[in-house]
């Protein structure tokens, strides 16, 4: 946690696999994740379609081929809950984590695992458990299990936990790209 909290920035490629009861086959998404503690996160997907999720303080921007949505998290409690619970998974805020989740930490050799159960509504109505696996300051895999049984597994590769973002990089990563509506 301390290592995660003290990192200057994180860049990681990810492969997200959603196992949903609604679907015949898992939904696979690939992209890149950028994180600057304590509250700046950008998630750019490249396949199968382009989308961008940016969380920057109280600002949330989501854009894909269908359009763009901007939210002031201060005025949207549901989105705020989601973002706070999501961000806390990355910024190494142990106290914040323990406020929101029941935590169980284990070490196996050089690997660690962190099992989380949301404590409060509305998160615990949608999510039943989150399992994070990694070593050192880097997370390797995150599995989110929903209350209905659906599961999202995100695997992180090429993880750079000591990335120092330049101003140009920040401007490029934390701004919503123009999308061509379909």
Partner 1 sequence: MSNPTRRAILIVAVVAMAAFCASRLDIGTDVTNFMPDGGRAKLASLSRKLANSELTRTMTLSVGAPTLDEAVDAADELARELAGHPEVAWIRTSMSGESLAEAVDLYFPRRYYFATSDPESELPDLLSDDGLQQQARRMLAELRQPIAPFLKPLTMRDPLGLFRRMLDTARASQPSLPTHRDQIVSADGQFALILLATVHSHFESETQANFLDDLSAAIDRVTARNPGIEVEASGANRIAVHAEQSIKRDIYRIGACTFVGVAIVFLLFFRSLGAFLLTSMPAMFGIACATTLGILFFGGLDGLTIAFGTALMGVAIDYSIHVLNHHTLDGAGTSADETVARLRPSLTLGATTTMASFAGLVLTTSPAFRELGFFAIVGMAASLLATIYFLPAFLPRPRAIPSLSRQVARQLGAGVHRLERHRAWLRLLVGAALIAGVVAVPHLNWVDDLSRLGSADPEIMAEEARVRSRLPTFETGRFVIAIGDDAEQALQKNDRVHGRLSHLQREGAIGGVRSLHQLLPSRDLQQRNLSALRETPNLAARVDRAFHAVGFRSGAFAAAFEDLDSPPPPLTLDDLKRSSLAPLLTTLALPIGDQLAIITYLREVQSDEAVEAALADLDGVVFFEQRKFINEVYAEFRATSLRQILVGTILVSAVLMLRYRRVRPALAALLPSLLVVAVLLASFAALSVEMNLLHVIALMMIMGMGVDYGVFLVDSADDAEGFSATMLSLLISCLTTVLVFGTLAISEHPALRAIGVTTGGGVLLAFLFAPVSLLATRRTTR
Contact between 20 and partner 1 by CB under 8 A: the answer reads: yes
Min. distance of Cβ 164 from partner 1 in angstroms? 26
Site for partner 1 in 60-79 (CB under 8 A): 62, 64-66, 72, 74-79
Nearer to partner 1, 136 or 148 (CB): 148
Contact between 150 and partner 1 by CB under 8 A: the answer reads: yes
Burial-class residue 76 by CB neighbours within 10 Å (0-12, 13-18, 19+): middle
Min. distance of Cβ 2 from partner 1 in angstroms? 26
- Count, residues near partner 1 per rule CB under 8 A: 35
- 128, 145 in Cβ contact below 8 A? yes
Contact between 84 and partner 1 by CB under 8 A: the answer reads: no
Bridge-partner residues for 132, per DSSP?
114, 142
Cα dihedral 6, 140, 81, 94, rounded to 10, equals: -40
Nearer to partner 1, 49 or 136 (CB): 49
For partner 1, which stretch binds (CB under 8 A), given 1-9, 91-99, 108-116, 121-129?
121-129
For residue 11, what are the CA distances in angstroms to 87, 115, 148, 180?
A: 15, 23, 31, 26
Burial-class residue 12 by CB neighbours within 10 Å (0-12, 13-18, 19+): buried
Min. distance of Cβ 166 from partner 1 in angstroms? 26
């Amino acid at each position: 946690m301390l290592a995660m909290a003290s990192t200057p920035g994180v860049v990681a490629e990810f492969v997200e696999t959603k196992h949903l009861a609604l679907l015949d086959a898992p939904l696979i998404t690939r992209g890149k994740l950028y994180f600057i503690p304590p509250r700046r996160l950008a998630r750019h997907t490249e396949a199968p379609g382009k989308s961008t999720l940016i969380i920057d303080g109280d600002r949330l921007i989501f854009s894909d081929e269908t359009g763009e949505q901007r939210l002031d998290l201060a005025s949207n409690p549901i989105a705020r809950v989601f973002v706070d619970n999501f961000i806390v998974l990355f910024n190494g805020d142990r106290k914040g984590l323990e406020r929101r989740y029941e935590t169980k930490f284990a070490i196996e050799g050089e690997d660690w695992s962190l099992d989380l159960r949301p404590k409060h509504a509305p998160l615990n109505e949608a999510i039943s458990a989150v399992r994070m696996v990694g070593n050192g300051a880097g997370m390797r895999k995150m599995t989110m299990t929903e209350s209905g049984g659906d599961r999202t597994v995100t695997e992180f590769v090429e993880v750079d936990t000591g990335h120092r973002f330049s101003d140009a990089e920040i401007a490029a990563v934390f701004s919503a790209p123009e999308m061509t509506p379909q």
